[in-house]
Amino acid sequence: MLHFLKSIVKEPRKTFKHYNSIFVLAFFMLWAKTFIVYLTQFQLGVEGFFQYFILFINPISSCLFVAAICFFFKGKGQYRTLLIGYTITSIWLYSNIVYYRFFNDFITVQTMASGPSNAGQLGESIAGLIYPRDLIFFLDVFILFFIVAKKKLPVIIKNNKKALRRTLSAVICVFLINLGLAEIDRPQLLKRSFDRNYLVKYLGLYNFAIYDVVQTSKTVTQRALADSSDVTEVENYVNANYAEPNPEYFGALKGKNVFMISLESLQNFVIDYELNGVEVTPFLNSLAHSENTLYFPNFFHQTGQGKTSDAEFMIDTALYPMAQGAVYVNKSNSVMQGMPAILSQEAGYYTSAMHGNYKTFWNRNEMYRTMGYDDFFDAEYYDMTEEHTKNYGMKDVPFFEESVEIIDKFPQPFYTKMITLSNHFPFGMDPEDTTFPVGDFGDDVVNQYFQSANYLDQSLQMFFEDLKAKGLYENSVFVLYGDHYGLSGAHNKGMANVLGKEEITPFDEAQLQRTVFMIHSPGLKGGINETYVGETDIRPTLLHLLGIDTSGYLEMGTDMLSPEHFPIVPFRNGDFVTEDYTYIDEKFYDNKTGLEMAEPPEDAQKLIDASKEKLYMSDQIINKDLLRFYTPPGFEPINREDYNYLKPSQAEVDAYRSVDPDRVIEKDEVPK
C-alpha cells in the first residue's frame, strides 16, 4: 500500500499502467472515506482496540465489490461502470449522514418507501441538515472523474474474468473474517438486531443495507405464512400480563370529550426550565402543577424510524412500532383495532384527526381509515397561506385558532387528535411570531429550541382560552404528549451546557428521551406521578379513565395508574429503563448515580427477557398481521371502505343538505 502511494506521487502514469490503479485508487478512496465518516458523523459507541479494528476493516468487502463491478465489462465500459457505482455508493453514504443527523439512525428499505411521498414536503428541515462543507464528502468523486476525463489511460485490465473471480473471492473471504471477529465481540449479532448501530459498527453501512433487504423480505414472508394458531401465544401473554384498572380512576372521565394533542418534539426538560430567569413553558408548567392534572415526569417516548407517526400508532393501538421502517407506511392495510374505533363502538364517540399538512403526508389518509377515524381535517380545511405556514405545515397559533371553529360543530362526546408542527427541527422562528429570546448554549439548533417551545406553549394557552369561550373546556379531557425527542445526540455539546454538565453520557442521553406527558381535566384528581411509563401505556390508561374495559384487546401497554402496571419501559432498539436502572448497549446504569454498574443487578436477566418479550410479541402481531385472526368480544372489524377523507364539493354539500338540512357537522362551512 505504501509503495503504491509513493509511486502514484512520483510516477502517476506508470503507476496507473502497472497497478490497475483506477481500480485500486477507487477502492482505497472509498474505504478511507467510509471509515472517516464512521468516526466523525455517526455515534457507533466504539470502544477498545478490537472494536476499532473491526470498524476499520468492515468497509473492505463492500468497497472491493463496488470497485470490482467494473470487471463485468470490457474496455471503456469498465471506467463508466466504476464511476457510476462509485457515485451511487457515495450518494448512499451521504444520504445516511444527513438522515443520521436528525434521526440518529440509518436508512432502511422500509423508510425509503416513504421517501417519494414525504421528501418533497420536508423543506426547511432537510435544508437545516445539509451544510456547505458537506461537499468534502464528494471530493473523491470529483477526483475520480477528473482522472478518467483528463488522462488517456489504458483499459483497466484485459483478463477481466480472472480479475473478477479473484476480487469476488477476496470479498467473500474478507466478509467472513469480518463476521467472525464481530461474532467474537458480539455473539448472535444477526439474531439480536434491534439496534442498527450495532450492525453498522460490526458489519458496515453497506453490508447492513444488504442485511436490511434480506430482513424485509423475511417480514413479507412471515405474513404470508402466518395463520390463526399464531395468535394463541400472543393472547396468552397479554392475558397473563394484563393490569387491572385502578378502581379510584376507572370511569372518572366517562363521557367527556377527549383532546389528544401531540406536542411536536417537546422534551420534558423544558418543564419548569428558566432561560435567563424566565419560564420557557409557563402555561404547561401551570398545568403540570394543577390539582386537576396527572403529570408523569418519567414518561419516555418509544418511537422508531417513524417518529411522529410511530407515536400516533402506539397511542391508537398500544403496540410498539416496527424495528425497521414505519407502520404508517408499510402496514397501513393491516387489520388494526384502533382507539378511535373502540371509542366509537363502545361509547358512541365521534372521532377525528386534525393536522396542518396534507392528508397524504406519512400516509395518514390510509392509516386513519385502518384506525377508524370518522373524519380527517387536513390542510385543505385550513388557511395555508405563507404567513400561516413553516417547516412541515401550519404554524401552531393559526392551527389552533382555526381548529376551534371546526371543533365547535362536532357532536358530543368527541375524540379528536391534534398534531402540532411548529416545534420541529431546526426550530427557527419567524421574528413576527415571538419575542422570546433564543438561548446561548453554543449550538444554534439548541438555542432556537427554547424559542420554539415557548411559541408552542403560548399557542396551547390561547387554545384553552378559546375552548373556554366556546363552552368546550369544562366537559373535556386533555391528553398532552411529546411525540419524540427534538434534540438528537448530534447536539449533546449544547445540551451539556443546558443541563450544566461537562458532557452528555450515554446515561444522560437515555434520560433525555423523556417527553412531556400529562392528562388534564376539570374535576380530575391530579398530582405528580413518578411511575416510569411510555407511549404504549397511553391507550389503556385513557380508556380506563373513560370507563372502557380493555381486557379483551391485544395490547402491549398497561394502565399507568394501575398497581399492576408493567414496570419496564422498553425502547425500540432493545434498551430499556426502569425506576432503578437504565439499560443501554448491554450495560446497566444506576439511576441514582448515573454511573455504570460494576456488576449487573440480581434480576438483570429477568428484566432483559421481559423487555425483549414485549417487543417480540408486538412484532409478531404487526409483522404477521395477526389481528386479522382475532376479534375482541363485541368489537366490529373495521371496513376501510367505509371511510373517505376527500373534502366534499359544494354540489355534494348542497345535495346532502337537501336530504338532511339539520346535519350537525358541515366541514365545508369552516371559515377560509
User: Exposure of 218 by Cβ count < 10 A (0-12 exposed, 13-18 middle, 19+ buried)?
Assistant: exposed
Whether 284 contacts 509, CB under 8 Å: no
Whether 540 contacts 547, CB under 8 Å: no
What is the DSSP annotation of 523-542? T---EE----EEGGGHHHHH
Residue type at 167 in one-letter notation: T
Cβ burial 374-408 (10 Å sphere, 16+ → b, else e): bbbbbbebbbbeeebbbbbbbbbbbbbbbbbebbe
Quick one: CA torsion of 177, 179, 184, 186, rounded to 10 degrees? 160
Whether 245 contacts 561, CB under 8 Å: yes
Whether 324 contacts 305, CB under 8 Å: yes
Euclidean distance between CA atoms 504 and 462, whole angstroms: 35
Pick the catalytic residue from 34, 219, 281, 308.
Answer: 308
Q: What is the CB neighbour count within 10 angstroms for residue 652?
A: 12
The contacts found for 81-86 with CB under 8 angstroms, 24 or more apart, are: 82/22, 82/23, 82/26, 82/144, 82/156, 83/144, 83/145, 83/148, 86/26, 86/30, 86/141, 86/144
Closest CA to 398 of 671, 669, 648: 671
Return the C-alpha cell found at 556.
402491549
Whether 106 contacts 573, CB under 8 Å: no
Quick one: CA torsion of 406, 412, 414, 419, rounded to 10 degrees? 20
Return the C-alpha cell found at 36.
472517516
251: Cβ contacts below 8 Å, ≥ 6 apart: 544, 545, 546, 547
Euclidean distance between CA atoms 318 and 295, whole angstroms: 20
Closest CA to 122 of 421, 487, 322, 330: 421
Residue type at 122 in one-letter notation: L
488: Cβ contacts below 8 Å, ≥ 6 apart: 101, 102, 103, 104
Return the C-alpha cell found at 185.
465481540
CA 118 to chain centre: 14
325: Cβ contacts below 8 Å, ≥ 6 apart: 108, 109, 110, 111, 113, 114, 216, 305, 306
For residue 426, the surrounding DSSP H or E stretch is none
244: Cβ contacts below 8 Å, ≥ 6 apart: 559, 562, 563, 564
What is the DSSP annotation of 242-292? --PPPTTTTTTTTT-EEEEEEETT-BGGGTT-EETTEESSHHHHHHHT-TT
Residue 308 is among the residues annotated as catalytic for this protein: yes
52: Cβ contacts below 8 Å, ≥ 6 apart: 46
**Catalytic residue positions?**
308
